Structure 1
């Protein structure tokens, strides 16, 4: 029950901050949303997009799923994720898409070290098949590295896979080709507190925000 009380108190703070202290913000949002950014992130409770970015309500259109994956555009693509991307790109006309991955991702761990599922369903395993090609490549190319290194490499590679899969949606690729939409791959290192971004020119993830100095 303490968690419920914490959430209710949190809503009271939210209410005060946005409905009392900044009434103009929600006054404008009542007429509709116009976010400039679609963020595709992980469901992990440690990686909250608005908290990490300091965004206000209305700043981000957020899609969250296990391991921040984007399925390729196929007739049997996940309707939940694909429809949210379609709405953000075609209806809201966002200006950028950020795929936000993170360290210690449980979905990637399940992919790299699968366990026998002792329940009626395995929705996680089915979903993670999207990233199986990059996991197999990492296991093959980094067989000489330890499991933590392979796990980290797969987390980064899955972000790039999602960026590639975004371009399989024809209406999204058109906007990218027209210069109306930018794609970004970000990685939150929750161990160091750093934020990395993929550089297509350097073909690697580089620090966007460095870790804080050690105390």
Structure 2
């Protein structure tokens, strides 16, 4: 629990937007205001101060009200405090600690997209304005290192995607897994994708969690363990066929076998099986090894024919 003496940094935008401003010194205990340093702010511009203990007991809203009351009483402090706020803001932004600025990262990211992609591909974006016609539905892991758009160079409008822990596709269940079912139904029935690709990957934390599930069924997380249990058939097969291997090797086997479990689960969705029978849909499994920079691709035959290595 953080001990809040005075709320300062969260109020900077607020204080800049109001007619008057006032600060007393503040500090947040037990955790620095940035990743790199503790910030102590001093601005003793009046004999009137806010009692720190009272502020600590109050809520964020009470702090704002208290400051507003002080500001209304000390009209003459406007120019002094406005100048000091600018100094504090500059200090926080220029401290030499290589702090990460998420807002600036978002701005620069979109600026690059706008100038280098959007503005340079008017025909593509005119087409996308009219709708989408993706050829793929892709299931991939949420892992930040394995974005399919980068790994397979998917362009905008080319792949409808769902990313989750360990790239799992659960079996058909209108109650428990309706979110996943909605994605599959929309992609197959309405977008009429021609391919569903499930991509596993190396060093998958979700698969490692699956392999580490305790045999007694106990759980230590709210969602993760229950979710990765979708892959229990893969774990069972790996332990039966590769019980003599090291745990690290078993995890690698399971990373691929869990893809096959997801492909099998896709067959439990009526609109998927119907599309397969009508030959309007194909299911494919993939495995991206970012340790070696390799990609493996196979079909729904579950190893009956050789996979394609890229």
TM above 0.5, yes or no, is yes
**Secondary structure of 2:298 counterpart:** strand
1:18-47 per-residue CA deviation (whole Å, 9 max, x = no partner) reads 321111111111111111111111101000
Coordinate RMSD, CA, aligned: 1.9
CA pair 75-43 structure 1, distance change in 2 beyond 3 A: same
2:157 equivalent to 1:58: yes
Q: Which has the higher contact order (CA 8 A, sep 6+)?
A: 1
1:52-106 per-residue CA deviation (whole Å, 9 max, x = no partner) reads 1112111110011111111111343411111111100011000101001101110
Q: 1:98 aligns with which of 197, 200, 225?
A: 197
Partner residue in 2 for 1:198: 298
**Secondary structure of 1:145 counterpart:** coil
d(CA) in 2 for partners of 1:174, 1:16: 43
Q: Are 1:71 and 1:77, in contact at CA under 8 Å, matched by a contact in 2?
A: no
Partner residue in 1 for 2:71: none
Which structure would you say has the larger Rg? 2
Q: 1:131 aligns with which of 231, 235, 243?
A: 231
Q: 1:44 aligns with which of 143, 149, 156?
A: 143
Q: Give unmatched runs, 5+ long, in structure 1.
A: 210-215
Per-residue deviation, 1:202? 5.0
d(CA) in 2 for partners of 1:202, 1:45: 28
**Secondary structure of 2:307 counterpart:** strand
1:193-214 per-residue CA deviation (whole Å, 9 max, x = no partner) reads 00001253853663431xxxxx
**Secondary structure of 1:100 counterpart:** strand
Q: Give unmatched runs, 5+ long, in structure 2.
A: 1-99
Matches within 5 A, 1:82-161: 82-114=181-213, 121-161=221-261
Per-residue deviation, 1:3? 4.2
Q: 1:35 aligns with which of 111, 115, 134?
A: 134
Between the two proteins, the alignment pairs up a number of residues equal to 207
Structure with the higher fraction of residues in strand conformation: 1
d(CA) in 1 for partners of 2:272, 2:249: 33
d(CA) in 2 for partners of 1:205, 1:128: 28
d(CA) in 2 for partners of 1:65, 1:4: 25
CA pair 131-66 structure 1, distance change in 2 beyond 3 A: same
